[in-house]
Amino acid sequence: MKKINIIVNIISFLVALMSFLSAIIVWQVLPSGQGFRGGKGELENIFFLGLARHHWMDIHIISSLIFIILIIIHLILHWHWIKSLPRMVKE
């Protein structure tokens, strides 16, 4: 069980890092171009590392969902320890 825990932790870290970096890229590097009345703005055709803003948004959303799934798996792997916390606090 320790090996699976290490794998889940490493993958969780990498996926969280990808989510964080894609959020920074979408927020700071490729901000949304607010076009006139909802139309395409002048920032619509800007790319970063060969990907447009909507691709970075896809990466961000998918990596965030994967991270949530991995956190649920992490909690399941540690459920016995989580259940024992009330006993540990009483002592």
pLDDT in tens, 25-45: 988 887 776 655 555 555 566
pTM for the structure as a whole: 0.78
d(CA 44, CA 42): 5
What is the domain range of residue 16?
2-90
In 3D space, the residue among 34, 27, 56, 33 whose CA is nearest the CA of residue 45 turns out to be 33
Number of domains comprising the chain: 1
Q: What is the mean pLDDT of each run of 10 residues along the chain (91 residues)?
A: 89 97 88 60 70 88 97 93 81 65
Q: Output the CA angle 84-4-86, nearest 5 degrees.
A: 10
HSE, side-chain direction, 13 A CA sphere, residue 20 = 6
